[in-house]
Structure 1
Amino acid sequence: MANLYQSLELIRPEIVLSIALIVLVIFDLIFHVDKKIIPYVALVGLIATGIFTLLNPQSGFAFQQTNLMGKIGIFAVDSFGNYFKILIIISSILIVLYSFSSEEINKIQERIGEYYALIFGMILGMFFIVSATDLILVYLSLELMSLSSYVLAGFTKLRDRNSEASLKYLIYGAVSSGLMLYGISLIYGLTGSTNFYIVNMILQIPNANQFTLAFANVLIFAGIGYKISSVPFHFWTPDVYEGAPITITTYLSVASKAAGFALLIRFIKTTFVSFSDSFGNWQVISSFDWKTLLIIISILTMTLGNFTALWQNNLKRLLAFSSIAHAGYLLLGVVVFSNGGVLAILIYFFVYLLMNYGAFLIVMLISNKSGSENIDDYDGLGYTSPLLAVSFVIFLVSLAGLPPTAGFIGKLYIFIALVDAKMITVAIIALLNTVVSLYYYVRIVKHMYLNKPTENTLTVKPNLGNTILTLVLVIPVLVFGIYFQPLVDWAKNSLNILGLM
C-alpha cells in the first residue's frame, strides 16, 4: 500500500488530467443543448494539470519493483519528463484558444464535448509516453495517443479530405504500431524483460544475437519515427496535415512530435548508454550502431522535407514538409549522444512551439476568411493586413533560423552540439539545408509584399483576442532571439533523465 500511495503521489498530474477528462464528458452530457462552457472547463483542467506538473517531485519512480538492480519502476518522474509535459500543456492551452476562432471547429459545436475529450485522451497518452520506462507502457501510451489523434484528424467531416486524412493516418499508424509491437516482442525474447533499465543491464553483457537486436531496434524506431515524421515514416504527414482541421494540424506538428522525441531520447539514453563522462558525452553500448542510423535518417529527413516544400502551393502542405525538415534538425541533437545535444533539443522545441504555432495561427485566420490555404490568397496581404503579414514574416524568418529571432538560437545550439562532437560534415549539410529552406519561406513573403493588392485581395482584421494571441507568440520569438538566457537555464535544469534509484 505504501508503494501504491507513493506511485499515486508521483502521477498526480495524470490523475488530475484523467479527472478533467471525466468532468468534460459529464458536462457534455449535462449541457447537451448549449455547450459554450465546455472549452472553459477544458482550460481549467489544463491549467490545474500544469500546476500539479510544476509542483510534482523532480525525482522518483512510480509503480516500483525491487530486484537485483535495486528499485526500478515503469514510470519515471524527472525534470526531463516534466519539461516536455509543460510544453504539451502550453500547446494544449493554445489549441483550446485557437479553437474559439476556428471556423472549422465552430461548425461542429454540437460535438464540441467529444472534440475536447479526444484532445484530453491524446494529452494523457503523451504524458505517459514522455515518462514511460517500460516498452509495454510505451506501446499502450502510443495507442492511447494515436487512437485519439486518428479520430481528431477527420473529426469535422466538412470536406472529403477530412475523412481521407483520418483514414490515411489510421492505416499508416496501424502499420507502424504493428512493426513496433513486433520489435518489442523481439527485445523481450532476447532479454526476458521490457524494462529499459533491465534491458540496459543485459545488453552490457554481449551475448545477444546482434542481427535480431538490430532488427528489433529498427522496428521499434519505426513506431517512434512515425510519430516524429522522420523519413521514411513521413508519408502520412502532408496528407494528414492538409486534411485535418488546422487546430489539429497545429497540435500534431508540435505536441505529438515532442512526445515522440522525448520517448526516443529516453529510450536511447536509458537502454543503450552505459555511462556519461564528466563532459556529458554518452558512452553507447556497442550492441547496435544508433549513430549511423540516426545520421542517415536525419539527413534524409531534412533534405526531403526542404526540397519537397519548394513547390508546394498549399500552406498546410508547405508547413507539413517544413515540419518534416525540422524533425531532421532535431534528430541531429540526438545524433551527438551528449547532454549538449539534449540541451539543444529542449531549447529548439520551445522555440519551435512558438514559431510553428504562430505560423499556423496566421494560416487559420486567413483560411477563415478565404476558405482555402492556397498561397495565392496571400497576394498583397502585407498592404491590407499589416499586423498578420508582419507577424507571419517574423515566424517564417524564425522557422528559417535567421537572427535576431529565437529560431536562430535553436539552430545555433544544434550546430554547437555538432561542432563539439566534431561532426563538421553533418553540420555543413544541415547548414545547406537551412539555405534551401529560405527559398520557400521567402516565397510566401514575396506573395505578401511584392504582389500588389487588387480588388480580390483579402483584408483580415483579427479581433482583440486573436490580436493578443498573435502578439503573445510573436513577442517571445523576438525577445528570445536577443535575450535567451532564461530559456537556456530552464533547459539546463531539465537535463536530468532519471537513473537507477
Structure 2
Amino acid sequence: MTPLVQQLDPLVTQNLWSASWFRPEAVLTAGAVLLFVLDLFWRKSPRRVAYLTASALAVLAAAAGFLAVQPADALSLFNGLLANDAFASFFKWLFLAAAALVVIITASGKDFPPARVGEFYALLVSIVLGLFMMASATDLLMMYLSIELVSLSSYVLAGFKKGDRKATEAALKYVIYGSVASGIMLFGMSYLYGLTGTTNLSQIATQVQQLSASGTAELAATRIALVVAATFVAGGLGYKIAAVPFHMWCPDVYEGAPTPFTAFLSVGPKAAGFALALRFFLSALSFPANADGLALPIGDIPWPAVIGVVSAVTMTLGNLTALLQTNLKRLLAYSSIAHAGYMLMGLAAVSAVGTQSVMIYMAIYLVMNLGAFLVVILVAQATGSESILDYRGLSRRQPFAAITFAIFLFSLTGIPPFAGFIGKWYLFVAVWERTGGPHGTWYGALLVIAALNTAIALFYYARVIRAMFIDPPYAPDAKRIVSPVSWQVVLGACAAAVLFFGIRPQAIIDWTLSSLQLFRG
C-alpha cells in the first residue's frame, strides 16, 4: 500500500462511517430529486396533486424513520463539519413536522396551481435538507453553506407567484437583504478564521480562550477583533430569525409569498436560525455550563449584552409596528419579529435553562403559528382578502375557524392555560435566574421590557378576536365559509396541542430536557 493510500484510508473510513449516520439528509437529497422527476412524469395526470402530495409526505416519512434510529450519543460527522446529537435531532423533528403540515395545507389550497405543486414540494424538501444541516453544523463553512442552501431555495419560493407584483417585490427584497446579511456574516467568519486559524467551532473556543489568556500587548486589539467577528456573525444569524436590524425583509416577504410557504418560513428557518445561534455562541464563544447550568462568555466578549439589547429592541419594534397593521399576514409578520425577540432572551441568559426555554418556545410556536396562518389561508381563499375587516363576524360564518384562531392568538399572547404561556414562563425564568448574579440589574430591565411587550401584544391580538366574535360582518351578504376536511383536522390538531401542552406541559419539558446534549468536540 502506497503512503498516499495509507493516508487516505482513515479519511475514507471516517467518511463512510459518517455517511451511515447521514441517512436522513441523504433521503431528503434523493427525495428532492425524485419529486422533480415525478413532477415531469405525472405532468398530464388528472390526479397529479394527490400523487405528488403522497410522494412528498413519503419522503418526509422516510427521513423521519431514519432520524428515529439515529444513535443517542453525540457524534462528529465528516471530520467535524456536522454533529449528530440530541440537540440537532430535536430541531430536525420540528422541521419535518412543519414541512408535513405545510404539504397537507398546500394540497387542498389554491395558492399553487396544480402544474406547479411538484416544484414547490421539491424546493420545500430542499429547504428542509438545508435546515437539517443548519441544526447540525459545527464548522463555519458548513454553517455558511447550509444557510445559503436554505436562502437560495427560499428566494425562488418567495417569488413563486408569476406576474404578481407583491411576490416580485418580496423576492427582490429577500435577495437583496439576504445577500447583504450573507456578506456580513462571511466577513465575520473570515475574522474568526484569521484570529484562530480554524473553522471548527470547538477549536475556535480553545483558540479564543488561549488568545484571551495570553496577556500580550495586542490583547486589546484581539478582543476588539473578536467582538467585531461575533457581531458580524450574529448579524447573519439575525437575518434568518428576523431580528432587528435585519428584519426589514420580513413583512414584505410574508405578504408577497404564497401563504403556505409564509407559514413555513415563519417557523422552519426561524427554528434553524436559533439552533445555529445557540450552537455557535454556546460552543465557540462560551465555557461549558457549570454545575448550576450557567455558562460564561470566553475572553470577556460581551455578546450576551449585545443579544439582550437586540432582544429588547426586536420585541418592542415588532409589537409596536404590529399595532398599526390591518393586513393579517403583515400583522403576523411583525408578531413573528416580536417572538424572535422573546426567544433571544433565552440565548442572552447563557444557561441550560435558557437553551431549554428557546427549545420549548420554538416547539410551541410552530404549532400555534402554523395554525394561525392556516386560518388566514382559509379566510383569504374564501374572501380573496387578508384584511382584518374580512374577519368581522367570522364566528358566524365559520365558528370552528374563529374558535381555533382565538386559541392560537391567546397562546401567542402568552395567556394561561394555553401552551404559549409555558413557553414564555420558561423564557422569563431563564432571565430571572440571572438577576441574582453579575449584571442582575440589566437582566431585570430585560424582564420588565418583555412584560410590557406582552401587554402590548394582547391589544392587537384582542383586536382580531373582537372582530371575529363581536363586530358584525363587514359585508351584510357574507356567506358561510366552507373549509376542506384536511384543514379542519389540522386546525383541530393544532388547537388541541396548544390546549393539551398548556395544561400538561411535562411531556414537552422532558423532551427538551433530554435534548440538551450539545456536541462540543
- Smaller-chain TM-score bracket: over 0.9
Gaps of 5+ in 1: 65-72
1:109 aligns with 2:114: yes
1:452 aligns with 2:463: no
Which of 270, 281, 284 pairs up with 1:271? Answer: 284
Greater Cα offset, 207-216 or 277-286: 207-216
Q: How does 1:56-67 map to 2 (within 5 A)?
A: 56-58=70-72, 59-64=74-79
Query: Equivalent residue for 1:28?
Result: 39
SS at 1:76's partner residue?
strand
Greater Cα offset, 234-243 or 455-464: 455-464
Contact 1:377–1:457, Cα closer than 8 Å, also in 2? no
Query: Equivalent residue for 1:393?
Result: 406
**2: CA distance, partners of 1:262 / 1:340:** 15
Which of 483, 488, 494 pairs up with 1:467? Answer: 488
Contact 2:67–2:89, Cα closer than 8 Å, also in 1? yes
**Cα shift readout 1:449-500 (whole Å, capped 9, x = no counterpart):** 2212352435212232211111011001011110110110001000110122
Query: Equivalent residue for 2:93?
Result: 86
**Cα shift readout 1:155-205 (whole Å, capped 9, x = no counterpart):** 122521011111110110011111111111111111111110111110001
Amino acid at match of 2:518: I
Shift of 1:111: 2.0
Q: How does 1:407-418 map to 2 (within 5 A)?
A: 407-418=420-431
Q: How does 1:317-328 map to 2 (within 5 A)?
A: 317-328=330-341
Amino acid at match of 1:53: L
Which of 49, 53, 59 pairs up with 2:63? Answer: 49
Q: How does 1:71-470 map to 2 (within 5 A)?
A: 73-105=80-112, 108-157=113-162, 159-205=164-210, 206=212, 209-422=222-435, 423-453=443-473, 454-470=475-491
SS at 2:81's partner residue?
strand
Amino acid at match of 1:154: G
Contact 1:10–1:60, Cα closer than 8 Å, also in 2? no
Shift of 1:286: 2.5
Contact 1:153–1:243, Cα closer than 8 Å, also in 2? yes
**2: CA distance, partners of 1:362 / 1:225:** 28
**1: CA distance, partners of 2:289 / 2:232:** 26
Shift of 1:272: 1.1
Runs of 4+ in 1 over 4 A off after TM superposition: none
Query: Equivalent residue for 1:69?
Result: none
Shift of 1:287: 4.2
**1: CA distance, partners of 2:123 / 2:161:** 13
Contact 1:298–1:331, Cα closer than 8 Å, also in 2? yes
Shift of 1:379: 0.9
Query: Equivalent residue for 2:20?
Result: 9
1:477 aligns with 2:498: yes
**1: CA distance, partners of 2:444 / 2:404:** 34
- Rate the CA distance shift 1:234–1:458 in 2: closer, same or farther, 3 A: farther
**Cα shift readout 1:89-108 (whole Å, capped 9, x = no counterpart):** 00000010110122111xx2
Which of 484, 497, 500 pairs up with 2:518? Answer: 497
SS at 1:497's partner residue?
coil
Shift of 1:212: 1.7
Gaps of 5+ in 2: 1-11, 436-442
**2: CA distance, partners of 1:97 / 1:138:** 30
Greater Cα offset, 397-406 or 95-104: 95-104
Contact 2:282–2:288, Cα closer than 8 Å, also in 1? no
SS at 1:274's partner residue?
coil
**2: CA distance, partners of 1:195 / 1:464:** 49
SS at 1:282's partner residue?
coil
**2: CA distance, partners of 1:381 / 1:170:** 36
Normalising to structure 2: TM-score of the pair? Answer: 0.92
Aligned-residue Cα RMSD (Å) equals 1.2
**Cα shift readout 1:417-449 (whole Å, capped 9, x = no counterpart):** 111111322112101100000010000011112
Contact 2:25–2:63, Cα closer than 8 Å, also in 1? yes
Contact 1:10–1:61, Cα closer than 8 Å, also in 2? no
Contact 2:227–2:303, Cα closer than 8 Å, also in 1? no
Contact 2:105–2:486, Cα closer than 8 Å, also in 1? no
